[in-house]
Chains A and B, each alone.
Chain A
Amino acid sequence: MLTGPGVTTSPTGPDPVISMSGVTRRFNGITAVSDLSLQVQPGTILGLIGPSGSGKTTTIRMLTGTLEPTEGDIRVGGQDPRHFTRGMRERIAYMPQLFSLYTDLTAAENVGFVAALYGISWFGRGAKIRRALEMVDLWEARNRRAGDLSGGMQRRLDLACAIVHEPDILFVDEPTAGIDPMLRQAIWDELRHMRDDGRTLLVTTQYVGEAEYCDAVALLAEGELVALDTPEAMRHRVFGGEVLEIETDATVTPELITNVAEVQSVRQTAPRTLIAVVDDAGTATPRLMETITGAGIGVISLEEYQPSFDEVFAELVKGRRAERGEVDDAA
């Protein structure tokens, strides 16, 4: 389905909606994005994740045609973004990173203005404005000036403007930046609803934990693609298998289970807690139970452990630096 380091391209999958091949962008000799290749299938969310300055916004701007790549080939809906036709432009939406609406206009007027830019006439525009504002829970605030809205409401208004013309492809740049966790959840719910409606989304975020909401994740660091995969596969790849957390009623050492056939590695996180990486959790669980209880130690819990994506990405970046022979500052 996806291409990138360690990702296999499915030969039978549908044509990708978004595709980048060997894309590089330099600003005055400084490389912002380097040799980036990825594909996004229709009806999915690709999360472009990375710290500030990793090249996320540069990538999204190249995909929307607002920035030219220095090298490489980009296709969105089969077209080069630099030469989008009007028809293609009507199918896409772009929500910029910064609030870019008109502070002197009301929320409804802002959405109406963007709707008109997409050729939606006065007849029927009202219903679309209402639908877009209701989707982001701003209908009650429709008559408030955009400049009087809170930061979170302004981000939602940006999103309402982006979706008012019901686009097929959305490029959403940092929709949750600076927004409280509850609202972030609501925005992701909305993005996933749009995905469920068959739309394709490319969303950037610097909140690594939001990778959970994506169908696929591209991790960027210093302008380079560190990893590209589904969130689960990425987790699996980092830890080399499935991860189990074992809590016992007495002190236990890793050596106790090291020799169990399915176990790849074990580490101790507390005197009575072990983290084991196994090939398959289903077959490993009964063998581990048997080994531990056979040693006269009771098992309080043995369940699959979900490492956070912060850990996953930290491991990925660490691995990349090790590959390059760079010193890890955190070490």
Chain B
Amino acid sequence: MLREVWHSLVRVTSFIGKELREVIRRPGVLASLVLGPFFIMLLFGIGYTGARSPFRTEIVVPQGSQLPRDQEFYEDLAPGRIEVVGISDSQDATENRLRGQQIDLMVVAPENAAAQLREGNQTEILVAWNQVDPVYDGLAHLAVATMVAELNAEIIRQAAAEGITLAEGELGPQVTDISPEVVAKPTTAVTENVAPSDPTVTNFFAPAVLALVLQHLGVTLTALSMVRERLSGQMDLFRVAPVNSMEVLVGKYVAYGLLTLLVGGIVGALMVFVLNVPIFSGYVIAIGIVLLLAFASLGVGLLISLVADSERQAVQLSMLVLLASVFFSGFVLPVQDFIGAVQYVAYALPVTHGIATLQEAMLRGEVRSLWMIGALAAIGVALYLLSLVRLRRILRSAS
């Protein structure tokens, strides 16, 4: 019994040593498949600011309008969202510039909004834009809503000021206790973000990048390892030798797990010590999540390597996993934005749980979505068992 255990340990370590040597001696593969996407993501992290360019806006103020004609007034209506590039009194000329994409937004101010308000009529403010990008279309709606609210307040303020002046003449100065600004904007918001970390782009995306790099590394490395052995006849050696599928799998899990954790450790250290990303949960919880994510990711890679018919197919499947991860994992778009059925796809990816739990752990200090930790472990165990069954079948298949 003890001899069997010892021999088993020897066999497992033989795979660990062999896999590590092979990876180290194929730096080209490591560079193109692993470091390539990593550097692309790093470039994205460094280069992406999250700030959108303000809409180039031209305001049309008709001749009879009492609204101001200075650019600053209008820019203050939606700070950072619009850049007033001109004030015009010709709607046709401005519209031509909009169609020619010389400007992004056209706002036509009402001619006599305050008078219309006094008469109990609603005034239309025409806002037009020329966008095919749905994101910018949405942002334009948001900018317009903010701007119109501010403009409404300005109109109310003007009307209130006129009303107060009239009332002072009739009733005396005591009515001036309420300023036109208060009438126009009876409430103002005092804002506070109670999250324990600053919501910066770097802080928010760093755990996601770490999770994505870990999964991609684990999947890609392992996806290639077994498919080579299956196609080049080494499986026949394993079939004849006194080695079982569990020893082969454990050896590969440990070898690639070590490599994945090494790269993950380097990326994590860069984030914490260079980019100053906080780890409010402490290292133990974060490392625990990383271990689970690596375990599940290696399972994805091993399963790919056991079903792929060629190295090319293994690489293609790995890239498909990466693509699915970028779209559905919450890395770019929140998982909750997808319909229910697609959310199941998202939650089938280890990285979805890795991103959410790492962000919670690192940026909030606690993992509230504990079910995700369980899901990550369950995915890892399920993939291990699937790989084990598949490899056992391959080693036994004397078809």
Residues of A that sit less than 8 Å from B by CB = 61, 64-68, 82, 86-87, 89-90, 92-94, 96, 98, 100-102, 104-105, 109, 112-114, 116-122, 145, 161
Contact A100–B237 (Cβ < 8 Å): yes
CA distance A64 to B241 in the complex (A): 10
Question: CB-CB < 8 A to A116: which residues of B?
Answer: 10-11, 13-14, 17
Asked if B371 CB lies within 8 Å of chain A CBs, one says no
Question: CB-CB < 8 A to B17: which residues of A?
Answer: 113, 116
Question: CB-CB < 8 A to A89: which residues of B?
Answer: 240-242
Contact of B18 among A66, A87, A100, A102 (CB under 8 A): A102
Question: CB-CB < 8 A to B242: which residues of A?
Answer: 86-87, 89-90, 117-119
Minimum-distance CB pairs A-B, first 8? A116-B14, A119-B7, A100-B233, A89-B242, A68-B398, A94-B240, A104-B25, A86-B242
Question: CB-CB < 8 A to A117: which residues of B?
Answer: 11, 14, 237-238, 241-243
- Please, could you name 24 A-B residue pairs with CB atoms under 8 Å apart, sorted by A? A61-B398, A64-B236, A64-B240, A65-B398, A66-B239, A68-B398, A87-B242, A89-B241, A89-B242, A93-B240, A94-B236, A96-B237, A100-B233, A112-B14, A113-B18, A114-B237, A114-B241, A117-B241, A117-B243, A118-B242, A119-B7, A119-B242, A145-B25, A161-B237
Asked if B22 CB lies within 8 Å of chain A CBs, one says yes
- Known interface pairs A119-B7, A120-B10; A66-B399 also in contact (CB < 8 Å): no
Asked if B165 CB lies within 8 Å of chain A CBs, one says no
Say how far B399's CB is from chain A's closest CB, in angstroms: 7
Asked if B368 CB lies within 8 Å of chain A CBs, one says no
Interface string of B15-31 (1 = CB under 8 A from A): 00110011001100000
Question: CB-CB < 8 A to B25: which residues of A?
Answer: 104-105, 145
CA distance A101 to B17 in the complex (A): 15
Q: B4: nearest residue on chain A (CB-CB)?
A: A86
Question: CB-CB < 8 A to A98: which residues of B?
Answer: 232-233
Say how far A109's CB is from chain B's closest CB, in angstroms: 6
Asked if B234 CB lies within 8 Å of chain A CBs, one says yes
Contact B6–A121 (Cβ < 8 Å): yes
Question: CB-CB < 8 A to B237: which residues of A?
Answer: 94, 96, 100, 114, 117, 161
Contact B21–A105 (Cβ < 8 Å): yes
New contact pairs (9) apart from A104-B25, A105-B18, A109-B18, CB-CB < 8 Å: A89-B241, A94-B237, A101-B234, A102-B234, A105-B22, A113-B17, A117-B241, A119-B6, A119-B242
Question: CB-CB < 8 A to A65: which residues of B?
Answer: 239-240, 398
Interface string of B204-242 (1 = CB under 8 A from A): 000000000000000000000000000011101111111
Contact B234–A100 (Cβ < 8 Å): yes
CA distance A101 to B25 in the complex (A): 15
CA distance A61 to B235 in the complex (A): 12
Which bracket fits the contact residues of B? 20 to 34
Contact A66–B14 (Cβ < 8 Å): no
Question: CB-CB < 8 A to A87: which residues of B?
Answer: 242
Contact of B398 among A66, A114, A122 (CB under 8 A): A66
CA distance A89 to B241 in the complex (A): 6
Contact B233–A92 (Cβ < 8 Å): no
Residues of B that sit less than 8 Å from A by CB = 4, 6-7, 10-11, 13-14, 17-18, 21-22, 25-26, 232-234, 236-243, 398-399
Question: CB-CB < 8 A to B233: which residues of A?
Answer: 96, 98, 100
Question: CB-CB < 8 A to A102: which residues of B?
Answer: 18, 22, 234
Contact A109–B21 (Cβ < 8 Å): yes
Q: B238: nearest residue on chain A (CB-CB)?
A: A117
Q: A87: nearest residue on chain B (CB-CB)?
A: B242
Say how far A158's CB is from chain B's closest CB, in angstroms: 10
Q: A119: nearest residue on chain B (CB-CB)?
A: B7
Question: CB-CB < 8 A to B236: which residues of A?
Answer: 61, 64, 66, 94, 96, 100
- Known interface pairs A105-B22, A113-B17; A68-B10 also in contact (CB < 8 Å): no
Contact A119–B11 (Cβ < 8 Å): yes
Say how far B232's CB is from chain A's closest CB, in angstroms: 6
Question: CB-CB < 8 A to A122: which residues of B?
Answer: 10
CA distance A66 to B11 in the complex (A): 20
CA distance A82 to B399 in the complex (A): 11
Say how far B21's CB is from chain A's closest CB, in angstroms: 6
Question: CB-CB < 8 A to B241: which residues of A?
Answer: 89, 114, 117-118
Question: CB-CB < 8 A to B239: which residues of A?
Answer: 64-66
CA distance A121 to B5 in the complex (A): 12
CA distance A93 to B237 in the complex (A): 9
Say how far B30's CB is from chain A's closest CB, in angstroms: 12
Say how far B24's CB is from chain A's closest CB, in angstroms: 9
Question: CB-CB < 8 A to A94: which residues of B?
Answer: 236-237, 240
Question: CB-CB < 8 A to A66: which residues of B?
Answer: 236, 239-240, 398
Q: A64: nearest residue on chain B (CB-CB)?
A: B240
Q: A62: nearest residue on chain B (CB-CB)?
A: B398
CA distance A281 to B232 in the complex (A): 52
Contact B10–A121 (Cβ < 8 Å): yes
Say how far B386's CB is from chain A's closest CB, in angstroms: 23
Contact A104–B22 (Cβ < 8 Å): yes
Question: CB-CB < 8 A to A100: which residues of B?
Answer: 232-234, 236-237
Say how far B139's CB is from chain A's closest CB, in angstroms: 52
CA distance A100 to B238 in the complex (A): 11
CA distance A120 to B14 in the complex (A): 10
Say how far B60's CB is from chain A's closest CB, in angstroms: 70
Q: A116: nearest residue on chain B (CB-CB)?
A: B14
Say how far B31's CB is from chain A's closest CB, in angstroms: 15
CA distance A96 to B233 in the complex (A): 8
CA distance A105 to B15 in the complex (A): 12
Question: CB-CB < 8 A to A118: which residues of B?
Answer: 241-242
Contact A92–B240 (Cβ < 8 Å): yes
CA distance A90 to B14 in the complex (A): 16
Contact B21–A104 (Cβ < 8 Å): yes
CA distance A93 to B240 in the complex (A): 7
Q: B228: nearest residue on chain A (CB-CB)?
A: A102
Q: B396: nearest residue on chain A (CB-CB)?
A: A82
Question: CB-CB < 8 A to B21: which residues of A?
Answer: 104-105, 109
CA distance A118 to B10 in the complex (A): 9
CA distance A87 to B242 in the complex (A): 8
Contact A82–B398 (Cβ < 8 Å): yes
Say how far A301's CB is from chain B's closest CB, in angstroms: 50
Q: Which of B4, B232, B398 has the most CB of A within 10 A?
A: B398
